[in-house]
C-alpha cells in the first residue's frame, strides 16, 4: 500500500530529501544496458541509445551521447579541412575506437551505482548512506563528481 511505500522511501533516503508525505501511481520498467558490437559500419554511425543504452542514472546516457557527438564533429571537421570523404570507413572506425573507453567507463559506473543502490545489505546501506552524507557536506566534492560524470578531467 501507499503508506508502506512511503515508509520504505523514508527508510531508504532518511531525512536527506525531507519527509515523504504523498505518493501517486507507481510505474516500473526493466533496466537494461546495451553496447552495440559495431557502432560504425560502412558509412553509418550509431549514436545515442542506438549505440549504447545504459541505466538511466543521472542523465549519463545523455552526457555520453553529447560526448560522442562532440568527438564525431571533431573527426568530421578534420575530414572537411582535408577535403576528404565524410563517410570514410577508416575515419569512422577510428571515431568508434576512440569512444569505446569512455563508453565502457560510463557503463561500468552506471551499473555500479544501480547495483549499489539496489542492494539491501545493511553494511552496504550504511556505506551508501555515509557516502551520500559526505557528498552533501564535503566542500568541493559535488563539482568533482559532476566533472567525472560529464567526462571532464578533474
Cα torsion 37, 47, 57, 27: sign: negative
Residue 154 pLDDT greater than 60, yes or no: no
Mean pLDDT of 18-32: 84
For the stretch 34-68, pLDDT in tens is: 899 999 999 999 998 899 988 887 788 899 999 99
Q: Which residues of 112-142 are buried (b: 16+ CB within 10 A; e: fewer)?
A: eebeeeeeeeeeeeeebeeeeeeeeeeeeee
- Quote the percentage of the chain above a pLDDT of 90: 43
Residue 30 pLDDT greater than 90, yes or no: no
So what's the pLDDT on residue 152? 65
Contacts by residues 38-42 (CB-CB < 8 Å, ≥ 24 positions apart): 38/96, 39/96, 39/99, 40/89, 40/92, 40/93, 40/95, 40/96, 42/87, 42/89
So what's the pLDDT on residue 74? 98
Mean pLDDT of 28-36: 81
Q: pTM of the full predicted structure?
A: 0.69
Lowest mean pLDDT among 71-75, 88-92, 109-113, 147-151: 147-151
Residue 111 pLDDT greater than 90, yes or no: no
DSSP run (H or E) holding 62: helix 60-81
Mean pLDDT of 72-99: 97
So what's the pLDDT on residue 16? 80
Rg (CA), the chain: 20
Contact indicator for 32, 111 with CB cutoff of 8 Å: no
So what's the pLDDT on residue 14? 85
Amino acid at each position: 500500500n501507499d503508506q508502506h511505500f512511503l515508509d520504505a522511501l523514508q527508510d531508504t533516503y532518511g531525512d536527506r530529501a525531507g519527509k515523504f508525505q504523498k505518493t501517486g501511481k507507481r510505474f516500473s520498467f526493466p533496466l537494461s544496458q546495451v553496447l552495440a558490437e559495431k557502432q560504425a559500419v560502412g558509412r553509418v554511425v550509431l549514436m545515442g541509445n542506438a549505440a549504447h543504452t545504459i541505466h538511466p542514472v543521472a542523465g549519463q546516457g545523455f552526457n555520453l551521447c553529447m560526448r560522442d557527438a562532440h568527438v564525431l564533429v571533431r573527426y568530421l571537421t578534420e575530414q572537411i579541412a582535408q577535403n576528404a570523404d565524410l563517410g570514410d570507413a577508416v575515419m569512422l572506425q577510428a571515431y568508434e575506437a576512440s569512444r569505446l573507453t569512455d563508453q565502457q567507463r560510463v557503463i561500468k559506473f552506471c551499473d555500479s551505482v544501480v547495483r549499489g543502490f539496489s542492494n539491501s545489505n545493511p553494511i552496504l546501506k550504511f556505506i551508501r548512506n555515509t557516502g551520500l552524507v559526505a557528498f552533501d557536506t564535503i566542500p568541493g566534492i559535488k563539482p568533482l563528481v559532476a566533472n567525472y560524470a560529464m567526462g571532464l578531467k578533474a
